[in-house]
Structure 1
Amino acid sequence: MPYAQKRTPPIRKGTNAAPPLNVADLAGVVYSSGKVFDGLRTGRLDTENFLRSGSLEGITSKSDLALLEDLRDVSQFIIDNREAPLNSAFVRAVNAQITRSGPMNPGHYRTAEQHIGVSTQYGRHEPQPTSDTALQRIIDRAMSKPDPREQALELFVQIAKAQPFEDGNKRTALFVANSVLIRAPKLEMLVVPVDENSPDKAARFNDLLARAYVSGEHEGVKDMLRTEGFTEHASARDRKKAARMNRYPKLRDMTLNAHALSGDEHEDPQLG
C-alpha cells in the first residue's frame, strides 16, 4: 500500500511549530548528498536554481538530472509528510521516492541472497538484512536522544550503517535525519561536509563513515557532522534578513529607493 502523504498544515502565528518550507530550502542537503554520495557534477548554484525554478542550466548529463529529480522528490516528500509518524514505514517511503537513480525495487528491503554491501578500505560491510522490527528499533533508539540534532545524527549513522535497501541508503538516511530537523522550530538542516576547493573534507567524512560501518566507531563521523554538518536552510536566512530590514525601516527604504533609482538588483552587504 502506498504511503499516505500528508500536506503540511499552515503555521499559526505565535506557535513554536516548524516554519513553512519548499524544496529549495533543502538545496544544501540535495547538493551535498548528490556530490559526496553519487558524484553529482552539477554545481551548487545550478542545483539550487533547479530546485527553485526547474532550470536545467548547468545540468550537463541525464544521470545528474535523474539524481536531482529524485532528490527533489525526496525533499518534497519529507516536507509534505513532516506531520506524519516517523517510523519504519516512513523510512521505506523515503527510499521509495528514489525511482530514477536508485534501487531496482524502491522502498523494499534487500535480501540476504542479494549480498548487497559496501566495500571500504577497512574491509567489506555487509550487515544482516533489515526488517520493519529492526528498523523501528533503530528509530526508537534515535528518537530517545535528548534533542533533534542528536536524534538526526543517530538516525543518519544507524540507518546508513544498516543498509536496509538495495541502493540509496545514505541518501535515505540523510533525508530521514533531516525530517527530524524540519519538524523542529529551529531553522537548520544536516548536510554532508563538502568543499569544492578542498576535496579532502568529503574524503575525511567518507573515511569516518567507513570506520563507523566496519569498526563501530560512530563518534568520529558524528563529531564531524556536529561541527561541519549543521547549517541554516534558506528560509532561515530570508527570515533573518527580513527581521534586520524591519528593525531599520529608514535604512531599508533608503536602500530599496537607491536600488530602484540605479537599477541595481544586488543586496546591500550590510543587510544581506
Structure 2
Amino acid sequence: MSPPADTANPPASPHLLLRALRGAGPQGASVAQLLAQLPGVPRRTAQRWLAQCVEAGQARAIGAGRGRRYVAVRAMPPPAAVHQVRESAESSWSTDDLPSGLALSPEGREVWAYVSQPLTARAPVGYQRDWIDGYVPGRIFYLPEPVRRQLHAMGRTPDEQAPAGTYSRAVLDRLLIDLSWASSHLEGNTYSRLDTRELIRHGTAAEGKARIETQMILNHKAAIELLVDASAQPGPPFSRYLLMNLHATLAENLLPNPADEGRVRQHAVDIGQSVFRPLDAPQVLDELVDVLIAKANAIADPFEQAFFMMVHLPYLQPFADINKRTSRLAANLPLFRANLCPLTFVDVPPELYARAMLGVCEMGRVELLRDLLVWAYERSTQEYVAIRQTLAEPDPLRLAWRQLIKDTVHAVVTRPGADAVGLVKQAVAAHVPGPERAAVQALILDELRRLHEGVLARYRLRPGQWRDWIAAQGCY
C-alpha cells in the first residue's frame, strides 16, 4: 500500500523547494512550476513551505492570484565577495562612487551586487507578463507607506489646493532647463546646464556639440511643455494618445526610421549590456500598452503612479528606442497634476540609473531604483521649494486665460505683416466673455510689449521669428 502523498517522497522538504526556487533565477517560479520539480508534494504543503520562506526573508512573492510568482532572495555576500564582484564587473563604477547622502538599502545592495557582475555571470531572462498582471492598484505598492509619506512631505508646495498643473506652470522656465538637461545627461548627452539654458532660452546651440545632442534637448523641452499642458486636462492622467505623442515628441528626428516615432514597435530590439530580452510580438506589445495605462490610471497615490511608470514602461520596451526618456517624463505627469515638486533627475549618476534599470529588467526588482528615487527627489525638492517661495502670486486672470494669451502672441508674431492690435481683438472677441474682454486684451498687448529673447520658448517662438516681427511691425 502506498503511503500518503505527504510522505511518499521523504527527501522533499522546504530546503529542496528553496533550492528549486533559487535555480529558477531572477524571474522566479510559480507554484505549478515548483511542484513539477517536487513530485509527490501536495500543493498545500508547497504553499505552506513558501509562506515559511517568505516569512523568513528567504523568498518574496510577486503578483497575486494565478499570476503570483516566488523569487529567492539572495543572501547579502560578505564585503570581500562584494569587492570581488566589483572587480570582475564590466564597469569599474562601485558603491564608493555613490553620491553623498545616498545610502543603499540592503535590498538595493543585493540588486547592485547582481547587476554588477559580467554579462556571462547573469542568467538571460525574458519579459515576465505576470509581473504587471499581478499588480493590483491599491493592494500592491512598490513604494511602502512610510516612503510615500516621506515623498509627500518633501514634495508639498504652496499650490497644493490650486487647480491641477498650477505649480508646474509657475516653475516652467526653470523646469524646462533642469529636466531637459538632466534627462538628456542620463542618455550620454554632453550639453552642460549652461549650454542647455542658452539653447532653451535663446535658441543658441552650443559650439562643438553634435546635432543629435541639440535635437535631444529641444525634444525634451517640447515634451515637457506637452506634459504641463496635459496636466490641466480633466480625466485620467494617462491615455494612449498622450503616451504615443509624448514618445513622438521625444523621438523627433532621432530614430533611424521616422515611422517608429509615436507608435508601438513592429520589430525585436536588444538592450545593450544586458541579458534582458524584451517581447517581440507587436500584437502583445500593443495589448500590454493598454494594460499598463489602465493600471497606472487606477493608482491613487501620485508617487506610486509615477514610480509604476518608471518601472513598467522601460520593462515593457513598447517603442523602438527612447523608452527610458519617455518613462522619466511620464513619471512627472502625476506630480504635475497634484501640484507636487517635479522629479528632475538632476545630479543622478548615469551609471547608477543604468544599474537600477538593469535590476528592474533582469531581476524584476525595484529596490535599487526606489533608493535612487527617494534620493533624487530630495535633490529636486530642495531647489524647487525655494524657487516657488520667491515667486509672486499668479494673476488669476492671466492664469485663467493663459493658453489664449500664449496662442494669440504666437499667432501675432508669426504674422509679421498683419495688424497686431486687430489680431488680438479678433482672438479675444472669439473666446472671452464680454465683461473680461478689455482686461484680457490689455494683458495680451502687455505681453507683446514685453516680449524678448528670454521668454520666446513660452510662446513656441524662435528668435528669428521674433526678429522678423520686430522689423516688420514696429511700434504698436
Partner of 1:115: 268
Q: Distance in 2 between matches of 1:164 and 1:135?
A: 7
1:202 aligns with 2:353: no
CA contact (8 A) 2:299 2:305 kept: yes
- The alpha carbon displacement at 1:207 in A equals 0.8
Structure 2: gaps of 5 or more residues? 1-158, 393-476
- Number of residue equivalences: 222
CA contact (8 A) 1:32 1:192 kept: yes
Return closer, same or farther for 1:49/1:146 CA change in 2, 3 Å cut-off. same
Return closer, same or farther for 1:233/1:91 CA change in 2, 3 Å cut-off. farther
1:88 aligns with 2:237: no
Tell me which moved more, 226-235 or 73-82. Answer: 226-235
> What's the TM-score, normalizing by structure 1?
0.71
User: What is the CA deviation profile of residues 115-165 of structure 1, one whole-angstrom value per residue up to 9, with x for unaligned ones?
Assistant: 2131334x1332344544422322332344442122111111111111111
Instruction: Give 3-state SS (helix, strand or coil) of 2:186's partner.
Output: helix
Partner of 2:227: 78
Return closer, same or farther for 1:185/1:124 CA change in 2, 3 Å cut-off. closer
Instruction: Give 3-state SS (helix, strand or coil) of 2:332's partner.
Output: helix
Q: Distance in 1 between matches of 2:216 and 2:339?
A: 29
Partner of 2:96: none
Q: Distance in 2 between matches of 1:142 and 1:59?
A: 41
User: What is the CA deviation profile of residues 163-193 of structure 1, one whole-angstrom value per residue up to 9, with x for unaligned ones?
Assistant: 111111111111111122111122x122336
CA contact (8 A) 2:160 2:339 kept: no
Amino acid at match of 2:333: S
1:219 aligns with 2:367: yes
Q: Distance in 1 between matches of 2:363 and 2:161?
A: 47
Instruction: Give 3-state SS (helix, strand or coil) of 1:115's partner.
Output: coil
Partner of 1:8: none
1:35 aligns with 2:185: yes
Partner of 1:174: 328
User: What is the CA deviation profile of residues 197-220 of structure 1, one whole-angstrom value per residue up to 9, with x for unaligned ones?
Assistant: xxxx32122111111111101222
Instruction: Give 3-state SS (helix, strand or coil) of 1:189's partner.
Output: coil
Instruction: Give 3-state SS (helix, strand or coil) of 1:33's partner.
Output: helix
Instruction: Give 3-state SS (helix, strand or coil) of 2:190's partner.
Output: coil
The structure that is helix-richer by fraction is 2
Partner of 2:128: none
1:15 aligns with 2:168: no
Overall identity of the aligned pairs, in %: 21
Query: Which of 325, 332, 344 matches 1:191?
Result: 344
Q: Distance in 1 between matches of 2:372 and 2:175?
A: 23
CA contact (8 A) 1:88 1:136 kept: yes
- The alpha carbon displacement at 1:102 in A equals 3.5
C-alpha RMSD of matched pairs (Å): 2.8
The structure that has the greater radius of gyration is 2
Return closer, same or farther for 1:36/1:232 CA change in 2, 3 Å cut-off. same
